[in-house]
Amino acid sequence: MRKPFIGGNWKMNTDSKDAVELAKGVAQKCASLLDKVDVSVCPPFVYLAAVKNAIGSAKVGLGAQDVYFEAKGAFTGEISCTMLKDIGCKDVIIGHSERRHVIGETNELINKKLIVAVEAGLLPIFCIGELLEERNAGKTEKVVKEQIQKGMAGITVEKAKAITIAYEPVWAIGTGVNAAPQQAQDVHLMIRQFIASMYNEDFAAQIRIQYGGSAKPDNAAVLMSQPDVDGLLVGGASLKADDFAAMIKAAAEAKK
């Protein structure tokens, strides 16, 4: 049985006061669900320390939205795995579609980041997903498989156990149009079968695959009721503690 995992990607939102209030709200509103559901919040880098402090002893994980692959040195503006661990991060989002398509990250760069993150003992949330034109051209499977194959290249099954995959169709992110539950399920199953072919059946049965893309309180239950949807990576709806907590509750109930 895979424990559901709900992540909140705050992107470039909040200020120091809002970040602390949101973190406290999440910790308080989902306290009774944290044995049933893994929950992490991923604030902007500059608020990680304040959010860590706000979470206190609650079992809400702290995640970063990115990391660089070099350990230290002359890499202006970048943040290393050691720095993230030092500040109390457990998770790190790698390969988010906004980094792929706005910043221009390649599968090769994402692979370097994943390798160092798992080596460092961080738990990556590895994002993949196709553009609308790729879906319309029938290329979803090809794109997603290539992202996985190139992104996880050179990562052993032992190290890959640290990874959660987030399937986030780019056309669903921030648009208000979520993938239909069956569309999500179809791709999640394809991903799981591909992981089985790259690694093995046991690992494929264990790895958690989150769905992301306009997930919100009113679709969380039906998305989470799909057999291969093990969690959600939530952008917009993670910025309201009540909405995020409602989705965590829906996940706990769907996987009872």
**Nearer Cβ to ligand PEP (168/230):** 168
61 counts as binding ligand PEP under rule CB under 6 A: no
Active site amino acids: 96, 168
Judge whether 84 and 123 are in contact, CB under 8 Å: no
Pick the closest to residue 214 from 256, 243, 241 (CA basis): 243
Pick the closest to residue 130 from 148, 114, 152 (CA basis): 148
Report the alpha-carbon distance of residue 249 to residue 104 in Å, rounded.
35
Pick the closest to residue 82 from 73, 38, 58 (CA basis): 73
Residue 96 Cβ, how far from ligand PEP at the closest point, in Å?
6
213 counts as binding ligand PEP under rule CB under 6 A: yes
**Nearer Cβ to ligand PEP (234/245):** 234
Find the radius of gyration of the CA atoms of the chain: 17
Judge whether 26 and 52 are in contact, CB under 8 Å: no
- The interface mask with ligand PEP, positions 130-169, x = CB under 6 A, is --------------------------------------x-
9 counts as binding ligand PEP under rule CB under 6 A: yes
* Residues of span 169-208 touching ligand PEP by CB under 6 A: 173-174
User: Given the rule CB under 6 A, which residues bind ligand PEP?
Assistant: 9, 168, 173-174, 212-215, 233-237
